[in-house]
Structure 1
C-alpha cells in the first residue's frame, strides 16, 4: 500500500482535539505521516536549549507550528541528551505546566515528554493528552497514570539511561531486540489499561551509528504491526557521523532525509525541531507518491 494511504489511529479515554467518539473512548485517525513538533522548555537540550524557557517565546513557536499544520506538540522540561543530568519533578513541572495550560485551547494534540509519573499526572490534569516516555513505561506507576487518566502513551526503547546510554551500547541483534521490546511493552501496557500506544525505536538512545542505521533501514518491519510508529531522529549525532555536521542546529537537511525515508516506510508520525518545514516536505513527498494530501 502507498504510504500516503495508510491509516493510523490513537485512542484516548477523554475528549481530545480532532477525535470522534467511539465505543472505546475518543479516537483520532489520520492517513499517511504527520508531524510532532518538539518544544523543549529546558536550558540545556542539545540543539535548542534555552530558546523556549520564556513562555512568550515558547507559545509563539508552538502557534507557528500549529499554523503550519503540525499535528502534535511534544513539550519537555528535562533534557535527555547523552550525558544529561536529571532535574527534580518540581523544576520540570515549573517549565511545562504554564505552556500546557496556555496551549490547552489551541486545538492541538499535546504530548508531555517526561520520565516521571508525577510530572505526567500533573501535565495530564493541566491539559496534555499523551505521555512520551523515553524509558518505555518501565515504571509501573507511569503505566497506572496513563491507564487511569485514559492517556495514550509513546513507548520508546533506550538501552541504559541518558547519563550513560552512549557508553559502549551492545546488541546481538539490534533490530530484533528493539522491535521485540517495543511490541512486548505495547501488549503489556495495553493489557494494563492504557488505551493506545505509539512505538519509537529510540534512535540515538543507547545505540551506535551502525545500530541506528540498522533500525532506520528496518522501519518497514516495525510499521507492519498494529500500533502506529513514531520516528524521532531530529538533529541527532547520527547525522553528524554520516555527513560531518558538528553543530546540531545545522542538521535539519539530514533530519528531513531520515524522516522522509521513515514516512515512506509507513511511519505514522515523525518528531522534529523544524516541524513546520517537515510538514512542507511531507506534502511534496506525498504529491510525488501520487497523493493529493
Structure 2
C-alpha cells in the first residue's frame, strides 16, 4: 500500500477536494499543518512529495478524529493490510535482504520462517506447555496460566495466539486474550489476576473488548519482528471491536515491547515479592504512530524527509 493511494481514498470518502482537505488539516492543528496547502495534498497524492512517517502519523490522527475510526479507509484482509516489506526494520535495526510474503493460510513467510495461528500448529500442546513453564519461572502463582487452559483458549478465533516456526520448528510466540473491558480494567489495576480469568471474562467476536498480551518469546530478532507485525495486522483487522491493548509483566523486556508498541506505563505493584508493571494504550493511539506508518506504507513512503 502506498500513502498516496491511501490519502486519496480517504479524501474521496470524506467528500473533500484537495483544497478543502488542506483547510481541514489547518483547522485540526494549525501548528503542525500550517504549511500544508492544496498543492501539498496534490503532491502527496501523486507521490511527488513523500511525507515522513511522523507526518503520516499526524495525518492518521486527524483522520481518526473526523471518521471516529481507529484506522479509517482500510477495507482489506488483515494480512494484506501490512505491506510486504522488511518488517524487522520496524523494531530492530538489522537488515535482511528477503521480503515478507503472505501465505494462503493467513500467515506470512520469510525465507524458512512462517508465522501462523497456534491452532494451526501441529505441536500446539507443547507450545502451550512451554508458555506455562516460562510464566512459572518469572511470575507469582496467581499470575500463572495452565497449559490446558491455554490450549483451549488458542482454539477461539477471538483471541490472538501467534507462533513463528523455522523449517517447521517453533521459534517464537505472542499470545493475547480478548477480554471484556471491565475484566481488562481489573487486570490493569491489579484487582484481578490472570489465573482468575474465566470464559465469562472473554469478549466474543461480536462484542467490544480489549487485548491482554501475556506471552512474548522469540529466538532472534526476525521472529520477534514478524510476531509484532502479525499483532498489528490483528489489531487492524479487528479495530472496530478492540478498545485497548495492555500487558502485565515483571520483566524489563516488557518495557521495551511496550515502548515499541506505544503502550504507556499505567501502574505498578509488588505481588508476592515480585514487582509487576502494567502498560496499556487505547487502539486509536496505537494505530496513529510513526511505527504503524512504516508498517502500513511502503518503505520509500515512510523514511524520506519532506
Q: TM-score, normalised by structure 2?
A: 0.28
**Structure number having the greater helix percentage:** 2
- Of structures 1 and 2, the larger Rg is shown by 2
Per chain length, whose mean CA-contact separation is higher, i.e. which structure has more relative contact order (CA < 8 Å, sep 6+)?
2
Q: Give the TM-score normalised by the residue count of structure 1.
A: 0.29
